[in-house]
Amino acid sequence: MTLIEKVKNQQRLTQEEGEALYDLDLYTLGELADEIRQRRYGKRSYFNINRHINPTNVCADICKFCAYSASRKNPNQYTMSHEEILSIVASSVAKGAKEMHIVSAHNPHDGVEWYMGAFRKIKAKFPHLHVKAMTAAEIDFLSREYGLSYDEVLDQMVQSGVDSMPGGGAEIFDEEVRAYLCKGKVTSDQWLEIHQKWHERGRQSNATMLFGHVESRAHRIDHMIRLRRLQDQTGGFNAFIPLVYQKDNNFLKVTEFPSGQEILKTYAISRIMLDNIPHIKAYWVTASINLALIAQEFGADDLDGTIEKESIQSAAGAQSSQGMSLEGFIDLIKNSGFTPVERDSLYHELKYHD
């Protein structure tokens, strides 16, 4: 049976077969991934009305790809007070936001209570608002910094009102690549362990992969297979998000960047390889809105959301600092031939924008 036949017959692919997918031409890959996407979602493209909040940029860890951390290139350190965070939340809720996506640097000067207290205050004032917060890297940092087990940090998150976890900190799971990119940060096994424990608490999360820097195609496939293996055990991942590396203002000094074709191939292969993760998100912040819209034809069924304000990727060159208007977002999806479907954070459909 040929590789294409295996994909059409919905048979699970191995590491070697996943790597071989990259040798197929772009349009063949697109057709294979689109067939899977349409079988599941038709022409629906999901998005939500959300707000990204990055409460501090002071970081104890050193990642070569990061342009956001104030401990390296950025001398402008900041840490928000709980009052500042609540003011942002209130403003965003008034504009219709249903999710707060809260991700910080690893600030050694703020204790666990700074994190958990903020979540509790948000939930006290806006009990129906979905709080997506704390990457596995942040959880590992708090565990190391304050002598807490992963279970203790996760239990505090649940008690403080965190509803789901974002997928950040995964980068690339290969430890040699990881040692070069972000030595000292959460390891691949620890990242997977933290998400497994979160899933075992009946909670859901996303998973990411940062690609287009120093990794190989084989590393990407290995990353996907490790996620697929955990998903077989827990079923807790909502979406997989291939994040395109942003090249400005960091220390990686990458000179060759992935072409648009390589990025689209990676989206398509993600859809083919990850048969048990429901959604593939073309995160327009890193892919660019134009490429994200094209990715809808290559297996992606979700474009994230309006975001309103974004600090981490835009520090490295992404055109996302001010988010996107709801009307503009809907029009772009419609004009690309898809049906915009507003969802909540756990992919319950809220509204069709026909």
Domain segments of the chain: what residues?
A: 13-352
| Model confidence band, residue 313 (pLDDT cutoffs 50, 70, 90) | very low
What three-state secondary structure class fits 45? strand
Task: Name the DSSP class of 43.
Answer: T
Least reliable range by pLDDT among 60-69, 98-107, 175-184, 295-304: 60-69
Q: Look at residue 10 and tell me whether its pLDDT is greater than 80.
A: yes
pLDDT digits (tens, 9 = 90+) for 21-36: 999 999 999 999 999 9
The token duo for 135 is: 């990457």
Cα separations (Å) of 40 from 176, 234, 286, 304?
A: 36, 21, 25, 18
Predicted local distance difference test score (pLDDT) of residue 73: 52
| Model confidence band, residue 58 (pLDDT cutoffs 50, 70, 90) | low
Look at the chain and count its residues.
354
pLDDT digits (tens, 9 = 90+) for 117-175: 999 999 999 999 999 999 999 999 999 999 999 999 999 999 999 999 999 989 999 99
pTM for the predicted model, two decimal places: 0.90
- The share of the chain scoring above pLDDT 90, in percent, equals 68
Q: What is the DSSP string of 307-354?
A: -S---TTGGGT-S-TT---HHHHHHHHHHTT-EEEEE-TT--EEEE--
Predicted local distance difference test score (pLDDT) of residue 162: 98
Over residues 35-40, mean pLDDT: 98
Task: Name the DSSP class of 296.
Answer: G
Predicted local distance difference test score (pLDDT) of residue 255: 67
Q: Identify the residue with better confidence: 214 or 351.
A: 351
Pick the CATH number of 13-352 from 3.65.10.10, 2.40.50.140, 3.90.550.10, 3.20.20.70: 3.20.20.70
Q: Identify the residue with better confidence: 214 or 253.
A: 214
The single-letter code of the amino acid at 87 is S
- Nearest 5°: the CA angle 310, 315, 317 is 100
The token duo for 77 is: 């350190």
- The share of the chain scoring above pLDDT 70, in percent, equals 87
